[in-house]
Amino acid sequence: FVSVARKGETYHIATRLPDGRLSWIIDPGAWKNLCGADLARQMAQAAKDAGLKPVETRRAEPLNVSGVGKGSQSCKWDMTCPTALTNADGDTRIHAITTPVVEGDGAHLPGLLGLASLERQRAILDTGARLLILPG
């Protein structure tokens, strides 16, 4: 769970699926992807367990982000991780997601799938049917 505070109120947002599978939040309000170190480690381990190879790349300069977690957060590395996605017909394919990883106070953050990635994939977000459509 992630706690979000607004004017003295706190909301708890579930960031895992009910069956415990790892998941991301579709966030077209965020320009880039972002992921907490805890989820990054869990994704990397799941990929390794499936015989796939995640890649960690040290950033030349840290990326500072704000608006998530407490104050400003620093991302010193990026992760590219194989990810299995299942389509509406039940077919599962391996894709990869690349994201800066937040450490420290932001390590607990969920994965945020940002607008740049959605645009690259020509994504269609059907809010009525609660579907993310990735053409092709």
CB 59 within 8 A of CB 78: yes
Sign of CA dihedral 43, 48, 50, 52: positive
Report pLDDT digits (tens) over 107-117.
888 899 999 99
* pLDDT for the residue numbered 2: 42
Tokens coding 74: 């620093």
* pLDDT for the residue numbered 49: 95
Report pLDDT digits (tens) over 26-84.
999 888 999 999 999 999 999 999 999 999 999 999 998 877 666 788 899 999 999 98
Tokens coding 16: 């895992």
Tokens coding 17: 């699926």
Global pTM? 0.81
Question: Rounded to the nearest 5°, which phi and psi values hold at 21?
Answer: -65, 150
Given the structure tokens 């994504």, which residue do they identify?
A: 123
